[in-house]
């Protein structure tokens, strides 16, 4: 019986994927597991790469998909009891699957792991900003705890539950926010296990990082606030500058609390850029509130 199915969505991921697959091949896990790479590249480099690794099979589709749809397709092909959704730029530490399986056996059906920046990938200032802004709830120093939101870069899900009640919506960004908030609204409990650790590569240039943050704010309105009453929207509009400042303070406070000494120093050094990121995030929210529209179809 296959215990775990690792599902990796891929589009032109041939540069980062070798490290991800090598780390999976080196897992210290006694149960059977499989790796499914769902690829929508317009070449055969990814399938050829997957042939070099044990436990791995690549399924190619002709039409390019958003990552969430790739995860859905992979889950449908999976045979494992536990789904481990991992991005193609995330390297799992050797005991990650064993820790995930142990935690799952304790009755946890939906949970996330710790995401740390991959320091071996020569990160830039933009890398640190992207990581610190988006992964401020996923430090390995954080204790096991309930969560209201999980990152799809490292998300773990009971397969039967995912196929019956979960699945990602076909949106380019924030599929994880939409899915996890929907699962909580349905009465499910989400949690965080810092013993399941992945190291993520962040290699976008600064202008793309800021653009991602802007889109994050823009899409958040449609996912979380669009259906609220007119009065609540007015309060949101008026209080957004204060809420943005509180968001940045919360991000910094979490890193200062759960990072090591070097991470705390980086947090302090990043403060001006985090404040700038907050301006972009609020700008995206204001854009949606004022002009309406729909969830952005762009990833960048």
Give residue-wise pLDDT tens across range 41-61: 989 899 999 999 988 999 999
* Predicted pLDDT of residue 293: 86
* Structural domain spans, the chain: 2-200, 206-291
pTM exceeds 0.85 for this model: yes
d(CA 188, CA 147): 11
d(CA 85, CA 108): 15
pLDDT top residue among 268 and 121: 268
Has residue 229 got a pLDDT over 90? yes
Using a pLDDT cut of 70, give the percent of the chain over it: 99
Tell me the mean pLDDT in the region 107-118. 97
Say which CATH architecture domain 2-200 belongs to.
Alpha-Beta Complex (3.90)
* Predicted pLDDT of residue 72: 97
Using a pLDDT cut of 90, give the percent of the chain over it: 90
What is the overall mean pLDDT for the chain?
94
* Predicted pLDDT of residue 137: 93
Model confidence over 142-200: pLDDT tens digits? Answer: 999 999 999 999 999 999 999 999 999 988 788 999 999 999 999 999 999 999 999 99
């Amino acid at each position: 019986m296959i215990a775990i199915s690792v599902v990796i969505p891929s589009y032109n991921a041939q540069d980062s994927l070798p490290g991800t697959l090598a780390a999976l091949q080196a897992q210290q896990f006694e149960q059977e597991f499989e790796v499914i790479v769902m690829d929508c590249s317009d070449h055969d480099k990814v399938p050829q790469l997957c042939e070099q690794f044990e436990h791995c099979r690549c399924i190619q589709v002709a039409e390019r998909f958003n990552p969430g749809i790739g995860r859905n397709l992979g889950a449908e092909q999976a045979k494992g009891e536990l789904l481990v959704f991992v991005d193609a730029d995330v390297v799992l530490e050797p005991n990650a699957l064993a820790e995930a399986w142990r935690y799952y056996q304790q009755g946890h059906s939906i949970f996330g792991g710790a995401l740390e920046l991959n320091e071996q990938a020569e990160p830039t200032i933009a890398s640190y900003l992207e990581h610190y802004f988006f992964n401020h709830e996923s430090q390995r120093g954080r204790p096991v705890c309930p969560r209201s939101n999980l990152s799809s870069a490292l998300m773990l899900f009971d397969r039967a539950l995912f196929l019956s009640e979960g699945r990602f919506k076909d949106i380019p960004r924030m599929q994880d926010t939409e899915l996890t908030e929907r699962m909580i609204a349905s009465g499910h409990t989400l949690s965080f296990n810092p013993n399941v650790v992945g190291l993520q590569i962040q290699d976008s240039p600064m202008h793309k990082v800021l653009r991602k943050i802007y889109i994050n704010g823009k899409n958040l309105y449609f996912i979380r606030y669009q259906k609220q009453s007119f009065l609540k929207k007015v309060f949101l509009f008026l209080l957004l500058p204060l809420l943005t400042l509180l968001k940045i303070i919360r991000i910094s406070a979490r890193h200062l609390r759960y990072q090591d000494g070097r991470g705390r120093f980086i947090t302090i050094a990043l403060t001006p850029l985090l404040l700038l990121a907050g301006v972009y995030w609020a700008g995206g929210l204001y854009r949606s509130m004022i002009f309406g529209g729909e969830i952005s179809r762009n990833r960048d």
